[in-house]
């Protein structure tokens, strides 16, 4: 009760415009609340704002949305990251207590890392997607931002759990390892550092990660070890397949979603039919106004579908399961995997579109495998925030957030 919540503007609030950061949806107003909105209100929270994002949540840059780019609160000449950039900035500037974003390849953890706040991507299916605009449904997650782990856990307690309108949440609840609730208590109790075992993911420090970020992360791991945690290196052989798998899944699903006027194939037919009709009408009328980056994604996805049918997509789904098994093996015997959130500090806005900067280098694996991951602030390098990422087991948010709470005081 009394918590002020901001929402990324692809999360529906009845009677309030939802424009998805795009000219395509300008002026659209949903008729119903997203499930997470109802649950926050039932818990006593107040929804106070809708927050800026990259167009249709389609980029990690923070620069492709309708209107000006989302600027970093630590240096307004730099990007806040995306696609949930406004959600991170609202927390970092104390405009809200908690905010929600979505994360399909890192879109909660990227801006959390760049802006110096906590950002959690839960296990796929733990938080319902009902009333959330689809990006690539099999990798979409609703995630939480706050300035510390405790309010993130409290928010997750409020919004997690199965929803009859969301097939993903129903499928999740049917798994043997499904657990829900108790997150705030887990953070309050914390984990004992003397009992904490951290697996340092070797591939998270490989080519493409700036030395200054790797050194900052290693220094934090040294402090944890000095404080009593057990730290050892682990490896995931298939880590480098992540980009190909993520892109084949995302681009194919995105192209089909647009081609078929937002038909809710993977949502079991449960969707606001007003949104579907509005999307169909507006997409045809305003597609020429799409950002070049987003349009390129649609064209790439259409090429994959038309050239290869579903073969590449099916192959990517199979490799996704192999990667999940490899990450499960790496997590065996440790409480969490640790790696830098971002490969470098936030770039300047004019350089944010550099294709050589892989925003999702260290974040996409959690979406491909659907495992939970959290970015914690780890001080600054050259005056700019650095994120420290922990990954956990499926539906192991209690353990992950407990470990995060134990780690938090020892970060930069």
Q: Which of 22, 59, 83, 250 is catalytic?
A: 83
CA neighbours closer than 13 Å in the CB half-sphere of residue 36: 32
Catalytic site includes residue 216: no
72 Cβ contact list (under 8 Å, min separation 6):
78, 79, 80, 81, 89, 114, 115, 346, 384
Structure tokens at 331: 């997590």
Q: How many CB atoms lie within 10 A of CB 212?
A: 14
* Residue of 18, 43, 41, 40 whose CA lies nearest to 29: 18
3-state SS of the chain: helix, strand, coil percent to 5?
45, 15, 40
| Phi and psi torsions of 121, nearest 5° | -105, 115
- Report whether 83 contacts 107 (CB < 8 A): yes
Q: Which of 8, 121, 246, 297 is catalytic?
A: 8
Q: Which of 59, 87, 99, 107 is catalytic?
A: 107
Catalytic site includes residue 121: no
The whole-angstrom separation of Cα 211 and Cα 293 is 29
DSSP state of 237: G
Catalytic site includes residue 8: yes
Q: How do beta strands 197-201 and 75-79 pair?
A: unpaired
Structure tokens at 189: 């109790």
394 Cβ contact list (under 8 Å, min separation 6):
123, 175, 177, 370, 371, 372
Query: Token match 């647009």: residue?
Result: 258
The whole-angstrom separation of Cα 44 and Cα 93 is 23
Packing angle of the helix pair 242-259, 292-308 (nearest 10 deg): 90
Integer angstrom CA distances of residue 11 from 5, 35, 128, 134, 350: 12, 9, 11, 10, 29
Buried b (16+ CB within 10 A) or exposed e, 110-138: bbbbbbbbbbbbbbbbbbbbbbbbbbbbb
CA neighbours closer than 13 Å in the CB half-sphere of residue 311: 5
Active site residues: 8, 83, 107
């Amino acid at each position: 009760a009394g918590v002020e919540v901001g929402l990324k503007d692809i999360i529906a609030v009845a009677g309030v415009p939802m424009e998805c950061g795009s000219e395509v949806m300008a002026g659209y107003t949903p008729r119903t609340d997203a499930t997470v909105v109802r649950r926050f209100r039932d818990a006593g929270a107040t929804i106070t704002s809708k927050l800026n994002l990259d167009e249709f949540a389609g980029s990690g840059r923070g620069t492709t949305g309708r209107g000006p780019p989302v600027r970093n609160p630590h240096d307004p000449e730099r990007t806040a990251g995306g696609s949930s950039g406004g959600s991170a900035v609202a927390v970092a500037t104390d405009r809200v207590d908690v905010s929600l974003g979505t994360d399909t390849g890192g879109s909660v953890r990227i801006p959390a890392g760049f802006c110096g706040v906590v950002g959690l991507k839960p296990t796929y299916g733990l938080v319902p997607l009902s009333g959330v605009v689809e990006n690539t449904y099999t990798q979409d997650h609703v995630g939480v931002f706050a300035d510390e782990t405790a309010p993130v856990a409290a928010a997750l307690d409020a919004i997690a759990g199965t929803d009859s309108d969301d097939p993903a949440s129903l499928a999740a609840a049917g798994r043997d390892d499904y657990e829900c609730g108790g997150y705030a208590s887990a953070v309050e109790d914390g984990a004992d550092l003397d009992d904490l075992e951290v697996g340092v993911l070797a591939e998270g420090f490989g080519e493409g990660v700036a030395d200054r970020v790797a050194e900052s992360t290693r220094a934090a791991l040294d402090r944890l070890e000095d404080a009593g945690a057990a730290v050892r290196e682990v490896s995931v052989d298939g880590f480098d397949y992540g980009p190909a798998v993520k892109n084949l899944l995302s681009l194919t699903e995105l192209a089909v979603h647009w081609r078929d006027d937002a038909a809710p194939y993977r949502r079991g037919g449960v969707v606001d039919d007003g949104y579907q009709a509005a999307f169909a009408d507006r997409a045809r009328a305003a597609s020429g106004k799409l950002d070049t980056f987003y349009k390129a994604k649609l064209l790439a996805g259409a090429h994959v579908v038309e050239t290869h049918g579903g073969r590449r997509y099916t192959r990517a789904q199979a490799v996704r399961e192999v990667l999940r098994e490899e990450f499960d093996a790496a997590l065996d015997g440790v409480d969490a995997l640790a790696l830098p959130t971002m490969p470098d500090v936030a770039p300047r806005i004019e350089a944010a579109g550099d294709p050589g900067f892989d925003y999702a280098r260290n974040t996409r694996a959690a979406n491909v495998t659907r495992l939970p991951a959290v970015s914690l602030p780890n001080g600054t390098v050259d005056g700019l925030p650095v994120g420290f990422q922990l990954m956990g087991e499926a539906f192991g948010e209690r353990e992950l957030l407990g470990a995060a709470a134990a780690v938090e005081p020892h970060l930069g």
